[in-house]
Amino acid sequence: METGIVMTVANLIRGILMLILGNEFIVSVIMKLIGIGAMIGVISFAAILFTYTERKVCAFIQVRLGPNRVGPRGLLQPIADMLKLMSKEDIIPYGVDRVVWALAPMVLFVPSALAYAFFPFDDGAIFADVNVGIFLLIAISSQSVLTFLMAGVASNSKYGMIGAMRAVATSLSYEAPMVFSLLGIVMITGSLRMSDIVAAQQNTVWFIVLQPIAFLIYLTTCFAETNRTPFDFVECESEIVAGAFTEYSGMRWALFFLAEYANLLSISVLTTTFFLGGWSGPILPGFVWFWLKTIFMLMIFLWIRWTFPRVRIDQMMSFGWKVLLPLALVNVLFTGVGIYINRFM
């Protein structure tokens, strides 16, 4: 099998470094650092780009103009935003639990960023292709609830408290359906390795065909995971101001948004990887296919966000437990019977 663009470039860099330094171990460490740098670069770039994209798409859907003053077609808006956020005063309100309050936005970034280590960006281009990939990914992503809880509880703000409660409630109801919906994929693939999941889709068909119910369940839970409408209870601006991060300003507030946009890209990538065949596709190189599918998923997420109203939190909780979870269980049963009939009969 031919290797993709990313691995060709990586091997080239590795070769040059090897020529200069001549030591296997040092070169591999440097390659890891380059990989980390690239991923953090992708996250930062995505965050900057998404602030603009999201507002433009929202404006388009709501028949408005959107940002159009700073630079041509408002393209410099993200830079203006960044400068503004950097020069904002960092207000520490009275009565906050200083250490926890300051730690929350920083810790929030860690699970969001670490998830990127498991993404197969291209053939072989995956930072940590470990044998428990998908499971470890779910485990790491599940840590982010606690940081919202930290932020909300430490803020000494009523909105913060309500936001924290809602963060917990949301995670309690979406995580179980999400984990069970991905079980079908693992059953078909027979491996937890992310690269195997893509390979299995190359050998058969995209899992969206084999697992349409799981796809819908996963898509629904994604909105809850990234706290976006129709499930944006953690921050819903028209009800509880900004929820868990009401009391943050300036760069600290920006860190929450960095994590949020990192998560948005991350769910697009994951949906692509799990259900749309990842980087695999005809003619075009894998890297291009990967981003095309990711951007397609991203647009769907934006579209749904700006189309649907927010549901009530108790509706969402009972929807998660009484509709999504039983559906996910039934999906597991059907997948099991299907695989059995296919392979053993």
Partner 1 sequence: MTDVLSFIHFIVNGVMDFLVSIGAPDLIMAGIFYLMAAVTVLSALGVVLMRNVVHSALMLTASFIGVGCLYIYMNASFMGAVQFLVYGGAVAVLIVMAIMLTRRPDMAHSNPSRGALHQLGAAIVAAVFCLVMLIVSMASPFRTEASHLGDEVKGIADLMLTEYVLPFEVAAVLLLIAMIGAIILAKGVSENDA
Partner 2 sequence: MSDFGGLGIFFVIALVFPVMALIPAFILQPRQPTREKGIPYECGVDTEGKTYVQFRAGYFMYALVFIVFDIETVFLYPWAVRFGELGLFALIEMFIFVGILAVGLWYAWQKGALSWK
Exactly one of 140, 213, 304, 332 binds partner 1 (CB under 8 A); that residue is 140
Min dist. Cβ of residue 78 to partner 1 (A): 33
Q: Spell out, one character per residue from 234 to 273, where the chain touches partner 2: x when CB under 8 A holds, - when not.
A: -------x----xx--xxx-xx--x---------------
Please answer whether residues 250 and 88 qualify as being in contact, where contact means their C-beta atoms are separated by less than 8 angstroms. yes
Q: Spell out, one character per residue from 151 to 190, where the chain touches partner 1: x when CB under 8 A holds, - when not.
A: --xx----------x--x--xx--x---------------
**Nearer Cβ to partner 2, position 231 or 289?**
231
Stretch 61-100 residues interacting with partner 1 (CB under 8 A): 97, 100
Is 142 a binding residue for partner 1 by CB under 8 A? The answer is yes
Min dist. Cβ of residue 40 to partner 2 (A): 6
Measured CA to CA, the distance from residue 232 to residue 169 in angstroms comes to 12
Instruction: Find, among 286, 196, 282, 290, the residue nearest to 4 by Cα.
Output: 286
Measured CA to CA, the distance from residue 40 to residue 115 in angstroms comes to 11
Q: Is the dihedral of CA 152, 156, 161, 163 positive or negative?
A: negative
Exactly one of 7, 46, 182, 192 binds partner 1 (CB under 8 A); that residue is 192
Please answer whether residues 200 and 273 qualify as being in contact, where contact means their C-beta atoms are separated by less than 8 angstroms. no
Is 162 a binding residue for partner 2 by CB under 8 A? The answer is yes
Is 311 a binding residue for partner 2 by CB under 8 A? The answer is no
* E strand spans, 40-85: none
The phi and psi torsions of 323 (rounded to 5 degrees) equal -115, -55
Please answer whether residues 224 and 177 qualify as being in contact, where contact means their C-beta atoms are separated by less than 8 angstroms. no
Is 313 a binding residue for partner 1 by CB under 8 A? The answer is no
Is 17 a binding residue for partner 1 by CB under 8 A? The answer is no
Is 127 a binding residue for partner 1 by CB under 8 A? The answer is no
Is 146 a binding residue for partner 1 by CB under 8 A? The answer is yes
Measured CA to CA, the distance from residue 345 to residue 333 in angstroms comes to 17
Separation in Å, CA 108 to CA 21, 175, 242, 267, 273: 37, 18, 16, 16, 24
Measured CA to CA, the distance from residue 340 to residue 338 in angstroms comes to 5
Instruction: Find, among 246, 251, 291, the residue nearest to 272 by Cα.
Output: 291
Is 169 a binding residue for partner 2 by CB under 8 A? The answer is yes
Measured CA to CA, the distance from residue 326 to residue 162 in angstroms comes to 29
How many residues form the binding site for partner 1 (CB under 8 A)?
A: 31
Is 138 a binding residue for partner 1 by CB under 8 A? The answer is yes
Min dist. Cβ of residue 163 to partner 2 (A): 11
Is 19 a binding residue for partner 1 by CB under 8 A? The answer is yes
Exactly one of 7, 57, 183, 298 binds partner 2 (CB under 8 A); that residue is 183
Is 130 a binding residue for partner 1 by CB under 8 A? The answer is yes
**Nearer Cβ to partner 1, position 141 or 246?**
141
The amino acid at 246:
T
The phi and psi torsions of 33 (rounded to 5 degrees) equal -65, -40
Candidates 124-132, 201-209, 225-233, 260-268; binding stretch for partner 1 (CB under 8 A): 124-132
Candidates 19-27, 75-83, 208-216, 298-306; binding stretch for partner 1 (CB under 8 A): 19-27
